[in-house]
Structure formats: structure tokens, C-alpha cells
Amino acid sequence: MIHTPALIVHGGAWDILDEAVEDHKRGCSNAVAAGWRVLAAGGSALDAVTAAVVVMEDDPTFDAGRGSFLNADAEVELDASIMRGSDLKAGAVAAVRRLRHPIQLARLVMEGSEHVLLVGRGAEKFASSRGIKFCRTRDLLVGRELQRYQALRSRKDFHVREVFEKQPRGTVGAVAFDNSGSLAAATSTGGTPQKMPGRVGDSPIIGAGTFADNESGAALSTGWGESILRVLLAKTACDFLKEHNDANRAAKEAIQVLEKRVAGKGGVILIDRFGGVGLAFNTPRMAYALRQGEKIFKIGI
């Protein structure tokens, strides 16, 4: 049976400033276009989400790859993960440096190692062994982030929660459903500004940042990682899908859990096992774009 493909991407759930809205819309739209080219040609959901996330890692609008936040040591440490719903295979990397496309390394972990998650130096060693080229930290850094680092470094009262209420930008991710009825999800992030070196958020943690299971659905989280981790937001959203097969309702219920149980802030995008697309967020804005078949294309913020 041939299924109608579906794809949704997000560019983070934050208080996206009015002046950044157009860049977010354009970035999400470009990512959907890249992923859709794969799906329209009969490619896999896994290839589609990889292609979409690579585009967003290259776009300095987003907190992923180039354009990521600096940590407290003025270093860029990146997290990413990817999961396939047909066999629950997954790969992830955390706290890796000097990589333009951490999502490609996460995929290599999934397809080229016996592990699910590699971190820091070990992940970088694995990347070298597979011929992945490293860049310089300054290739990932944009002036906006250097200025943010300098402004936040001198502040004693800074708490990361305010980032999700008062500042622009966020994690990126894509969820896809291909014409064979298979699901995949992928996410990539520079984490949070001024994070401690070695801090790992939800994004590379399977079940928290990313989850895909052809028997329920595939979901991604974005937002304040320390809250998302504690409610395994992506898996929680997929569990709700098992109860009622309503993608928007499942996303909304997952965000209610995030808010009520841990006073968390963030968003969820997901696709159910029939190709139904849903999303929800409790931040002021979340940037997203979606496509379902030939007729439905939507960009939102």
C-alpha cells in the first residue's frame, strides 16, 4: 500500500521576536522543501528528516550547528539524535564540538556502531575515524551569539528559564512519514546559553527529545531541556497517541504534562502512524512548517 507522505519541522519554541519571524519562516520552509524532495522521490522518512535538519543546521537563524549558543566557557557544544520507527533503531551524540552537522554523526552512530549515544571526546574520535571533517568553533559562531555571551556572562541573576520566555531562537527538528508508512524523527541543538560545559539537554536523549515508533507515532520536543527530560516529553506524546490516535490532542496533552508536572516550557511536533500531523507549545511562539501530500503546506509561528 502506498501512503501519502507527511513532514513537519520546527525551528524552536521561544518568544520569537517580531524582527526574527521572517527568518524563522524562511528557514522552516527551506527545511520542509529539502525533506519533501526526498519524500516526493519515494525516499525514506529517515533520509527526509536528515536532509531537513542539515538545512537548519546550516541556517544561522537557529540554535543548531552554525548559530548555536555559546556555553559558559565560550565553546559551542552540540547535541543531536535520530530515530527510525520501523525497528526502533536510534543514534545520538552529545556535547560534540567543531561539527557543522551533528545530525550526520548521530545517524552514523545509529548505522555504523553498536551504540545509541556517544558523548564528547569519544563521539569526536568516532567522527574522525569515519572521515567526518571538523570545522573551527568560529565557523559555528555568529556575532549575535558572541554579544549574547558577553551580556549574560556579567549577569548574576540570569536563569535559563527566561530564555524560553524572553529571547528568540531554538533547537531544530523534523518528523516524517514516508510512502511505505514508516516514521522517523531527528533533532539537533546547541543547547542553552551559558550552559555548563558538559551539560546535556533533552535533544540527544531518546524518549525525551526524540522518539519514533511505527506502532504509535514519532515526536520531537523543543524548549527547556531540563524540564523536558523529566517527563520524557517525546515518548509521552507518542503514548497519548496510543490512547486516541489524535495527533493534535496528543501533542496538547503532552504539553499539559510538561506544564503541570514540572512547570516546563516548550513544544512538541508529531506524526501519528497514519500520517496525521500535530503540534502544541506553551511558549509564546514556536516556528514550524508542515506538508501533507500535494495539497497541504503550512508555515506557522
Give me the active site residues, please.
171
60 phi and psi angles, rounded to 5 deg: -70, -5
Least distance to ligand GLY, CB of residue 161, Å: 11
Least distance to ligand GLY, CB of residue 134, Å: 22
CA-only gyration radius of the chain, Å:
17
Least distance to ligand GLY, CB of residue 178, Å: 26
Determine the 3-state secondary structure of 15 from DSSP: coil
DSSP result, 241-284: HHHH--HHHHHHHHHHHHHHHH---EEEEEEETTS-EEEEE-SS
115 phi and psi angles, rounded to 5 deg: -105, 170
The smaller minimum CB distance to ligand GLY, of residues 177 and 224, is found at 224
Least distance to ligand GLY, CB of residue 225, Å: 2
Least distance to ligand GLY, CB of residue 95, Å: 11
Bridge partner residues of 264 (DSSP): none
The smaller minimum CB distance to ligand GLY, of residues 126 and 224, is found at 224
The smaller minimum CB distance to ligand GLY, of residues 194 and 222, is found at 222
CA distances from 6 to 37, 63, 70, 299 (A): 12, 24, 34, 14
Chain residues in the site for ligand GLY (CB under 6 A): 171, 189, 191-192, 201-203, 222-225
The smaller minimum CB distance to ligand GLY, of residues 30 and 68, is found at 68
- Checking 290-294 for CB contacts under 8 A at 24+ apart, the result is 290/6, 290/7, 290/8, 290/9, 290/32, 291/6, 291/7, 291/8, 291/32, 291/36, 292/4, 292/5, 292/6, 292/7, 293/4, 293/5, 293/6
The smaller minimum CB distance to ligand GLY, of residues 184 and 208, is found at 208
Alpha carbon distance 279, 6 (integer Å): 13
